[in-house]
Amino acid sequence: MATIPNPYFIAGAVLSAAAALLHFGCIFFGASWYRLLGAGEKMVRLAQRGSSYPTRVTLCIATVLLIWSAYGLSGAGVIPRMPLQRPALCAISGIYLARSLAFFPLAKMFPTNSAWFWFCSSVIAGGMGMLYAVGVVQAWTLL
């Protein structure tokens, strides 16, 4: 009997992949995208000067987001099972939710990013964390 793919994992995977694509956009389109997406003036200035630092940081983030997307698709049953699938999906959900709850500490640590950026990115991370969390609960015995 075929199982229906978990829609929560699929939605989380799609959003994680979209976030990765936005990060790749920063790498390819440069400082204007870093500014548009709220990376902060320090990153914008580094990108304008041709520093490799913004590219390296952004590439790492994008890669992690793509891996998380793959785990979401795996948890949904769309692609083959990935290693340590259950703990990885729990961790992904937990990291997204923790990122969402870290709004105020992050805003203080990175004051050049706007409050609007921290608010929006925290809401988005919380939504993505909830998608993964509901997916984990629904598919627990299958993971």
pLDDT digits (tens, 9 = 90+) for 22-42: 999 999 999 999 999 988 889
| CA gap 103, 77 in Å, rounded | 33
Residue with more model confidence, 107 or 48: 48
pTM of whole model > 0.75? yes
Average pLDDT over residues 44-62: 97
Taking a C-beta distance cutoff of 8 angstroms, is the pair 99, 88 a contact? no
Which pLDDT does position 91 carry in this prediction?
A: 98
pLDDT at 132 over 60: yes
Select the highest-mean-pLDDT range: 57-61, 100-104, 114-118: 57-61
Average pLDDT over residues 97-119: 88
Output the CA–CA distances (angstroms, integers) from residue 124 to 15, 45, 63, 118, in the order listed. 9, 26, 18, 10
Region of 81 please: left (phi>0), alpha (psi -120 to 50) or beta. Answer: beta
- Report domain extents, the chain: 7-138
Residue with more model confidence, 65 or 112: 65
Which pLDDT does position 31 carry in this prediction?
A: 96
Which pLDDT does position 2 carry in this prediction?
A: 54
Which pLDDT does position 1 carry in this prediction?
A: 44
pLDDT at 107 over 90: no
